[in-house]
Amino acid sequence: MPLALLGFAMIVVFMGLIMAKKLSPFTSLILVPILFGLLAGYGWDTLKYAMDGIKDVASTFAMMTFAILYFGVMLTAGMFDPMVDKVVSWCKGDPLKVLVGTAVLAAFVSLDGDGTTTVMICCTAMIPIYNRLKIKKIYLANLIILQNCIMNLIPWGGPTARVMSVMNLDAGEILAPLVPGMALSALYVIGVSYYLGLKERKRLGVTKDVSYTVNKVEVSDEEKAWKRPKLIIFNLILTAAIIAALIMGLASSAILFGVGTAIALLVNYPKNKVQRNVISSIAPDMINVIMMVLGAGVLMGVLNGPEDAGMSNAIAQFLVSVIPESMGRFFAVVIAVVSAPGTYLLNNDAFYYGVLPPLAATAQAYGFTDLQVGFAALMGQAFHFLSPLVPFIYLLMDKTEITLAEYQGYIFKWCVGIFVIFMGMGLALGYLPIL
């Protein structure tokens, strides 16, 4: 129990310091877990566990580094310029069209099951438009996260793949009950985008009957020299090929973006001096995100601690122990409710490999099927991307220029809607039965 309390306390202190702006997110991610690791009695092993956490996010670190570089090169070369100009022209300054378009774009891009890719594509394409029209970028973050937490339930997404392995379910078996809730939730997000668009129309003084002139963003002479309008088609084909390879799972995303970056630099900027200057211009956007990913690795590493004996495992045992036996006939609903704080406080590996097995064994004893248990365990994904343990959210916050407190405080209320839809569809279709 003490380890579980320390784990909860560590997350609360970490969040409190950030929200009170007493520490920066990076320093809090490093110092708070180290302190609590020492309090847990890990001693010098605390630093070992922190390093283990950094190793665990190495693939994410590599992917983000190459993804930021790749899309930075594409943005610098002007691949998105024609699209931005056409979208702005079509929208005629109407923020409602922009926000609805963002929701649709985020839904489709999220189908690759990777949050980092979704953030990079949506932000690179849409932020110039948001900047020109002066639309609040927290709305962009909100729509990306809402659609991504829905589409992340596809079988090649992280949480569903873990549930399939733990509960011995086939992809089609688990996807079928999820699709109705996912479809309805995606429509809900488009409704949210429409509502936010109406709010922005009012705030900006734009009506559907009035065209609003949007001036082009001024760029420096050096940035103009880096534009490659004659290579737009090549860059689009290269980008499409990378995304297709990602969806097909032909190679790891880090390698695909790494190779893509090398090709993009070679073709667009063959001279080494220009390459260095372009990379240097992208580096400031990259360094803050990479620091946060490494910091999140430290937090996760110390939280996991020694195998089967760390704070993460203690939290898992605590969550199982607090459920009374009298709730047996409601156990599928109980698992669904527990999955919300569970996937927020723990990373997906810790929850689905640590908490779910004992919950599943208990549920099966009460007569629930593997499919019902697996379905219930995925309901909490509506809130998972609010967790500070998700590395790519720091990239999103950096791109949209919002703080963790703003991010969580604003997006939480819209996530509740998705959770209600997930639960409602599960109850209505019998996948969250009451025995």
Looking at residue 112, its pLDDT comes to 59
Average pLDDT of each block of 10 consecutive residues along the chain (435 residues)? Answer: 79 75 80 89 89 81 80 81 69 84 84 72 83 91 94 77 78 83 94 95 73 53 80 90 78 85 92 88 75 79 79 74 74 90 79 74 81 92 88 88 90 95 93 82
Domain ranges of the chain: 1-429
**Under a CB-based contact definition with an 8 Å cutoff, are residues 117 and 243 in contact?**
yes
Single pTM value for the model: 0.70
What would the two tokens of residue 319 be?
């969550």
Residue 338 φ then ψ, to 5°: -65, -30
Q: What confidence score (pLDDT) does residue 259 get?
A: 93
pLDDT at 220: 65
Task: Give the pLDDT of residue 297.
Answer: 81
The pLDDT, as a whole number, for residue 319 is 67
Q: What is the pLDDT of residue 210?
A: 47
Q: Length of the chain in residues, anyone? A: 435
**What is the three-state SS of 329-385?**
HHHHHHHHHHHHHHHHHCCHHHHHHHHHHHHHHHHHHCCCCHHHHHHHHCCCHHHHC
Q: Looking at residue 336, what is its pLDDT?
A: 92
Q: How is 369-433 classified by DSSP, letter by letter?
A: -HHHHHHHHTTTHHHHTTSTT-THHHHHHHHHT--HHHHHHHHHHHHHHHHHHHHHHHHHHTSS-
Q: What is the pLDDT of residue 113?
A: 58
pLDDT in tens, 208-230: 554 544 445 555 677 778 888 88
- HEC per residue, 246-294: HHHCCCCHHHHHHHHHHHHHHHHCCCHHHHHHHHHHHHHHHHHHHHHHH
Interval 62-107: pLDDT, tens: 877 887 788 788 878 888 777 766 666 676 778 898 899 889 888 8
